[in-house]
Chains A and B, each alone.
Chain A
Amino acid sequence: DTEVTQTPKHLVMGMTNKKSLKCEQHMGHRAMYWYKQKAKKPPELMFVYSYEKLSINESVPSRFSPECPNSSLLNLHLHALQPEDSALYLCASSQGLQGRTGELFFGEGSRLTVL
Chain B
Amino acid sequence: QKEVEQDPGPLSVPEGAIVSLNCTYSNSAFQYFMWYRQYSRKGPELLMYTYSSGNKEDGRFTAQVDKSSKYISLFIRDSQPSDSATYLCAMCGQGAQKLVFGQGTRLTINP
User: Which residues of A pack against B, CB within 8 Å?
Assistant: 2, 4, 31, 40-43, 45, 48, 50, 55-56, 58, 90, 92, 100-109, 111
Contacts and interface: CB of A to CB of B under 8 A. Distances in A.
B101 interface: yes
B96 A106 contact: no
Contacts of A100: 32, 49
Nearest to B97: A48
Interface residues of B, number: 27
19 contacts: A40-B8, A42-B101, A48-B97, A50-B97, A90-B43, A90-B44, A92-B43, A101-B92, A101-B95, A102-B90, A102-B91, A103-B34, A103-B49, A104-B46, A105-B46, A106-B43, A108-B42, A108-B43, A111-B41
B107 interface: no
Nearest to B44: A106
A92 B106 CA distance: 22
Contacts of B91: 102
Nearest to A48: B97
B97 A42 contact: no
B98 interface: yes
B43 A101 contact: no
Nearest to B86: A40
B49 A42 contact: no
Contact of A102 (B8, B32, B88, B106): B32
B80 to A, nearest CB: 21
A106 to B, nearest CB: 3
Interface-centre pick from A4, A55, A108 (highest chain B CB count, 10 A): A108
A4 B43 CA distance: 10
A42 B104 contact: yes
B103 interface: yes
